[in-house]
Amino acid sequence: MSRLIIPTTPFTDQKPGTSGLRKRVGMFCQPHYLENFVQAIFAAVPALQGNTLVLGGDGRFHNEVALQTILRMAAANGVARVIVARHGLLSTPAASHLIRLHGAAGGIILSASHNPGGPDGDFGIKFNAANGGPAPEALTDAMYRAACALHEYAISDAADIDLSQLGSHHIESTQIEVVDPVADYATLMQQLFDFDAIRDWLRSGHRVRLDALHAVGGPYAVHLFEDLLGAPLGSVRNAAPQPDFAGGHPDPNPASCPEMIAQMLRDDAPDFAAAFDGDADRNMVLGRHCVVTPSDSLAILAANARLLPQFRDGLPGVARSMPTSQAVDAVARTEGFDWYETPTGWKYFGNLLDAGRIALCGEESYGTGAAHVREKDGIWAALAWLNLLAAKRQSVADIVTAHWARFGRHAYSRHDYEGLSLEHGDAMLARLRGQIATLPGQQLGDLRVQAADDFAYTDPMDGSVSQRQGVRVLFEGGARAVFRLSGTGTEGATLRVYLERYLADPAQHGLATQQALAPLVAVAGELAGIAAISGRTAADVVT
């Protein structure tokens, strides 16, 4: 075994986006591409030297090759100990937990989340800091700077480590521990929820359907829902992780899971269903005849927090990303706890969680989580809902209806325009920004603009400022249209249009979501000039 120094030249496109560096697999397979970025991580995080690193991925194509490379580089860069998941299969929330459990200096997670996998799919790499959360902007900026200035990287020429068995190995003087990631995660979940109550609820004839979408959540879900909670074998579908997610799109939302939605709208549907994404941090929650929007899910968990052992003492506060609906704000106002509005991306919740200002947070993009880790957590969300069902002994649909009756309904939808040219995407945002000053007071159809801005956020803990986080147009009566460009795509631009309308009157709560939002869709399309600039007349994905 020896430590080699390999000369290289920088790739100038290694700027991490909303959630790490994501590119097509082909990009990551070219010589030095992965190595350069990993070296940039070691350069930006000197604390890794002599310390512990957690390592794993969502099992997508190229996962195992990349893991072996990173193990050799960790050894050559003086990491004392690497904790790597068996088969390299580590969900994002479980990685966050392992970092915190072992006091590691950080973790590297190989995932492109819900993006498709396989040789023609996407690959990604993200770094989580010592608090278990996604690297904050200052750190990802430092990685990018390091990547742009790189002229060599260090790597050991050691042989591959057997990741299929638990055990301990060495590369150079670095200890490599292959661990079972499911066991520690399951122990944590048992500390947060009332497993006896959920077991009773299941035993009393309730049925559940969980779907891992052929991704990394499978082994976690089988162990928790089937082995520990006693749901019948087979309750977890598509539980074996596959490198290409069986050709599917591992994104738990109504657009990607039409069969699941159709089943849940039938009279003989299970009582509860949930699906998870590629790295098991996202969740979609469904009941019989009921699709729960992520924004509502967050608000409902907040309103019922004291029923969950994790939140027995109440919530200090909650946070939502700016585009997420204002449903949780209404709960916070009524219940008297603080709420925060942050930019898109889980990294902005980290400081608030670390400081104990919030204990629960979420995003409209099927992400819900809490202070037990520093990532959103799909399986946790499903367990939280099961615990709620067991405690309330009501159906999902009844819980949602009662919540709306108490707080009003925030009808909500996201319209994505995918595969736009970068020029068209930029032109739409520029057009919106150009109107901000003149919009307030304007009457647009039935809607009157109250305020408009380009969202900026000052972190209350460290004072860091994040600007240009999306254009918000607020209308009288609580309706909103929010616009931003995706930061996770690997090709062209995606415009996300977030639409929200507040329905106070229970007589309107039964309205179909798209029908309730139709006037807003038209106004938003005009404001951004979607048809005028791109010729598109309808969104590609509606969730």
* Residues paired with 542 in a beta bridge: 415
Identify what 174 binds: Zn ion, ligand G1P, none; CB under 5 to 8 Å per kind: none
Identify what 249 binds: Zn ion, ligand G1P, none; CB under 5 to 8 Å per kind: none
Task: Give the per-residue SS3 of 40-94.
Answer: HHHHHCHHHECCEEEEEECCCCCHHHHHHHHHHHHHHCCECEEEEEEEEECCHHH
- Is residue 293 a contact residue for ligand G1P (CB under 6 A)? no
Instruction: Please report how close the Cβ of residue 442 comes to Zn ion at its closest, in angstroms.
Output: 38
Instruction: Please report how close the Cβ of residue 115 comes to Zn ion at its closest, in angstroms.
Output: 9
Cα-only R_g, the chain? 23
253: left (phi over 0), alpha (psi -120 to 50) or beta: beta
Q: CA-CA distances (angstroms) from residue 156 to 87, 346, 407? A: 21, 34, 59
Residue 202 structure tokens:
């299941």
- CB closer to ligand G1P out of 91 and 156: 91
The one catalytic residue among 19, 96, 111, 113 = 113
End-to-end CA distance of the chain: 52
- Is residue 251 a contact residue for Zn ion (CB under 5 A)? no
- Is residue 19 a contact residue for ligand G1P (CB under 6 A)? yes
Identify what 344 binds: Zn ion, ligand G1P, none; CB under 5 to 8 Å per kind: ligand G1P
Identify what 363 binds: Zn ion, ligand G1P, none; CB under 5 to 8 Å per kind: ligand G1P
Packing angle of the helix pair 378-392, 396-407 (nearest 10 deg): 90
- CB closer to ligand G1P out of 88 and 367: 367
Identify what 279 binds: Zn ion, ligand G1P, none; CB under 5 to 8 Å per kind: Zn ion
Instruction: Please report how close the Cβ of residue 114 comes to Zn ion at its closest, in angstroms.
Output: 5
Question: Which among 382, 116, 375, 123 is positioned nearest to 250, based on CA atoms?
Answer: 116
- Is residue 277 a contact residue for Zn ion (CB under 5 A)? yes
The residue from 18, 242, 256, 342 that contacts ligand G1P (CB under 6 A) is: 18
Instruction: Please report how close the Cβ of residue 107 comes to Zn ion at its closest, in angstroms.
Output: 15
- What is the x/- site pattern for ligand G1P, positions 337-376, by CB under 6 A? -------xxx----------------x-x-x---------
Is 173 marked active-site? no
The residue from 279, 363, 364, 377 that contacts Zn ion (CB under 5 A) is: 279
For residue 305, the surrounding DSSP H or E stretch is none
The residue from 68, 91, 113, 235 that contacts ligand G1P (CB under 6 A) is: 113
- Is residue 375 a contact residue for Zn ion (CB under 5 A)? no
- CB closer to ligand G1P out of 209 and 415: 415
- Is residue 113 a contact residue for Zn ion (CB under 5 A)? yes
CA dihedral angle for residue 512, residue 517, residue 521, residue 522, rounded to 10 degrees? 100
Task: Give the list of residues 6+ apart from residue 370 with CB closer than 8 angstroms, or none.
Answer: 192, 310, 311, 359, 360, 361, 377, 380, 384
Task: Give the per-residue SS3 of 465-490.
Answer: EECCCCEEEEECCCCEEEEEECCCCC
- Is residue 496 a contact residue for ligand G1P (CB under 6 A)? yes
Task: Give the list of residues 6+ apart from residue 388 with CB closer than 8 angstroms, or none.
Answer: 300, 301, 304, 307, 308, 399
Instruction: Please report how close the Cβ of residue 134 comes to Zn ion at its closest, in angstroms.
Output: 11
State the residue number with the nearest CB to Zn ion: 113
Instruction: Please report how close the Cβ of residue 256 comes to Zn ion at its closest, in angstroms.
Output: 13
For residue 416, the surrounding DSSP H or E stretch is strand 409-420
Angle at 248 between CA 242 and CA 251, to 5 degrees: 100
Question: Which among 258, 215, 244, 234 is positioned nearest to 379, based on CA atoms?
Answer: 215
Instruction: Please report how close the Cβ of residue 363 comes to ligand G1P at its closest, in angstroms.
Output: 4
505: left (phi over 0), alpha (psi -120 to 50) or beta: beta
Identify what 488 binds: Zn ion, ligand G1P, none; CB under 5 to 8 Å per kind: ligand G1P
Catalytic residues: 113
Give the residues lining the site for ligand G1P (CB under 6 A): 18-19, 113, 321, 344-346, 363, 365, 367, 486-488, 496
